[in-house]
Chain A
Amino acid sequence: MDPQLFVWIVARATGVAGYIALCLSILSGIALRTSVLDFLATNRALRSLHDFMTWVWIPLGLAHAGSLLLDKTAQIAPLDLVVPFRVSYAPLAIGLGTLSLDIVAVITITSWLRRRLDDRAWRWIHRASYVAFVTLFLHALLSGTDFSSPLISSISWSAALGIGLLAVSRIFFGRLPE
Chain B
Amino acid sequence: MPSWSLKLSALFITLFVLAGSFDYARGHVKNSSAPLQPPIADGAAASGSAATASPGPTIGPLLTTRPGQRVPATTPGPRLTLAPGVQSASLAPITLTHTS
A interface residues, Cβ below 8 angstroms from B: 1-2, 4-5, 8-10, 12-17, 20-21, 24, 44-46, 48-49, 52-53, 56, 60, 72-75, 89-90, 93-94, 141-149, 151-152, 155
When each residue 34-65 of chain B gets 1 if its CB lies under 8 Å from chain A and 0 otherwise, what string results?
Answer: 11101111100000000000000000000000
Q: Please measure, in the bound complex, the distance between the C-alpha atom of A142 and the C-alpha atom of B41, giving whole angstroms.
A: 21
Chain B residues with CB below 8 A from A56, complex form: 10-11, 14
B69 within 8 A of A: yes
Q: Min CB distance, B25 to chain A, in Å?
A: 4
In this complex, how many residues of chain B approach chain A with their Cβ under 8 Å: the count is 36
Which of B16-24, B73-81, B85-93 interfaces with chain A? B16-24
How far apart sit A48 and B10, CA to CA, in the bound complex (Å)? 12
**A46 CA / B61 CA spacing, docked (Å):** 53
Closest CB of chain B to A3's CB: distance in Å?
Answer: 8
Q: Contact at A20–B17, with CB atoms within 8 Å?
A: yes
Assuming the contacts A5-B68, A45-B3, A73-B38, asked whether A13 and B13 have C-beta atoms less than 8 A apart, the reply is: no
**In this complex, what residue of B is CB-closest to A43?**
B1
Please indicate the chain A residues that have their CB under 8 angstroms from the CB of B19 in the complex. 13
CA distance A86 to B92 in the complex (A): 56
Closest to B33 in A: A148
Q: Digitize B1-15: 1 where CB-to-A-CB distance is under 8 Å, 0 elsewhere.
A: 111011100110111
A5-B29, A72-B42, A75-B41 are contacts. A16–B36 as well, Cβ < 8 Å? Answer: no
Let me know if B1 and A45 touch, CB within 8 A.
yes
Q: List 9 A-B contacts (CB under 8 A).
A: A8-B25, A13-B18, A20-B13, A21-B14, A49-B3, A73-B66, A94-B36, A149-B28, A155-B17
B26 located at the interface, meaning its Cβ lies under 8 Å from any Cβ of chain A in the complex: yes
Closest to B32 in A: A148
CA distance A12 to B3 in the complex (A): 30
CB of B31 within 8 Å of the partner chain: yes
B29–A9 CB distance below 8 A: yes
- Tell me the complex Cα distance, A44–B1, Å: 10
Q: Is the C-beta of B72 less than 8 angstroms from some C-beta in chain A?
A: no
Q: A45-B1, A53-B10 are in contact. Are A10 and B22 (CB under 8 A)?
A: yes
Contacts of B22 in A (CB 8 A): 9-10, 12-13
Supposing A20-B14, A60-B14 touch, asked if A9 and B25 sit within 8 A by C-beta, the answer is: yes
Told that A17-B14, A17-B17, A144-B34 touch, could you supply 17 new A-B pairs with CB distance under 8 A? A1-B68, A2-B68, A5-B67, A8-B66, A17-B18, A17-B21, A20-B13, A24-B10, A53-B10, A56-B14, A60-B14, A73-B40, A141-B35, A146-B24, A148-B31, A152-B24, A155-B17
